Amino acid sequence: QVEFYFSDSNLANDAFLLRSIEESADGLVSLSVICAFTRMRFHLRLSQTTPETIPKGVVAAVADVLRKSSFLKVSDDGMCLRVGRVHEMQKPEEVRAEVDARSLAVSPFSWKTTREEIEAFFESNCKILSVRVPRHPAVKAFSGYAIVEFASPEEAQRASGMGLNFKGADLKFQSKNRKRGNSVCLEICDSDCFSSFRDDYVKGLLVRFKLTKIEKGAQQESEKKAEEEKKDEEKEEDKSKDTEDKDGEAKEKTEKGTQSDAVIREDLKAVFQQYGSVKFVDFSKGETEGYIRFETPEDAGKARTAAVISDEGGLVIKDYLATLEALEG
């Protein structure tokens, strides 16, 4: 993790760390500061803390590990442990240009997808150096696309032509663009699924739903059983002849029934379209919750209202009850 902080991939874009290195006479940074970074606190199992409150024993243990690195160097000036690169980085502008040349913006990914999942997926298919998952600055929500840095421009080009598919979605690859200062401007944000995502999210277009299995009442089961018995009596004279056929048919119906009971995207879209235009359904078969993105806030409001005022307390989708919750920024 510390090597990544000081790598070309990260350092050229990390204003704080880059400034800390430039302000240091020997290019080294306090290891306590590094240990206070969010991901380092996670790896070290530390709660919210500051560089001053990081236990000295923890910092010393991290230093012992880093001394084995050929990329980093650790120095002790008698007061604190400090860490930095063995070799200085090129000019940040040059490094950024090189990183951009081998990086691609990839989409679409579910809003629940983690960086680790995306990283594991690409590592199993090609050679990569890093994965970033940009988030909306206002609501801290995953934007739906990832910035993947490949080992080389050639590897990036090869990956874009592999026809990769992530959890049922065909991935789209586009190059990065830094025309707006240090921010990454992506054409992918103009796509159907993610157009004006930053604005839409806070305007109530996104609705989260949870599916709960509906238990059939005893009376309904009893009536169904009585109806089946009546049909059996009417066909009693042909019973012996058709026994084998009926057994096979019953088994086939049971298997088909189990499959048809499962909720899929098309089922959700069919129900939610009754209340307005649905732009996107984020859901995987077998899961119990997902997200619906509507065309307008009014459409989303109609769906939520219908769910609240219904006798069942939600929207019925096959054998499941969907309860809705608006996501606001």
DSSP states of 284-322:
-TT-SEEEEEESSHHHHHHHHHHHHHSTTSSEEETTEEE
98 vs 195, more confident:
98
Six-digit token pair at 85?
A: 């690169």
301 vs 66, more confident:
66
What class, spelled out in words, does domain 203-236+243-329 have in CATH? alpha beta
Q: Quick check: 301 pLDDT over 90?
A: no
The Cα-based distances of 310 to 214, 290, 324 in angstroms read 15, 20, 12
Determine the straight-line distance between the first and last CA of the chain, rounded to whole angstroms.
Answer: 31
Tell me what pLDDT residue 227 has. 54
Do 102-193 and 203-236+243-329 fold alike per CATH? yes
pLDDT in tens, 272-294: 999 888 888 888 888 888 888 88
Q: Quick check: 267 pLDDT over 50?
A: yes
For domain 102-193, the question of CATH label 3.30.70.330 is answered with yes
User: For the residues 227-235, what does the mean pLDDT come to?
Assistant: 54
- Domains of the chain by residue range: 2-85, 102-193, 203-236+243-329
User: For the residues 19-35, what does the mean pLDDT come to?
Assistant: 86
Specify the CATH number for 2-85; select among 3.40.50.10540, 1.10.10.10, 3.30.460.10, 2.50.20.10: 1.10.10.10
Strand order in the sheet with 72-76: 29-30, 81-85, 72-76
The candidate with the shortest Cα–Cα distance to 146, out of 181, 97, 104, is 104
Percent of the chain with pLDDT over 90: 14
Q: Quick check: 241 pLDDT over 60?
A: no
Tell me what pLDDT residue 149 has. 92
Q: Are 4 and 130 in contact (CB under 8 A)?
A: yes
Tell me what pLDDT residue 173 has. 92
Give the lowest-confidence range in 17-26, 56-65, 71-80, 105-114: 71-80
Which DSSP symbol is given to 135?
Answer: B
Strand partners, 320: 213, 317
Average pLDDT value over all residues in the chain: 76
At a CB cut-off of 8 Å and minimum separation 6, what does 43 contact? 1
Tell me what pLDDT residue 91 has. 84
Tell me what pLDDT residue 250 has. 47
User: For the residues 8-33, what does the mean pLDDT come to?
Assistant: 84
Tell me what pLDDT residue 123 has. 93
The model scores a pTM over 0.85? no
Q: Quick check: 182 pLDDT over 90?
A: no
Residue 14, CA atoms < 13 Å, CB-side half-sphere: 18
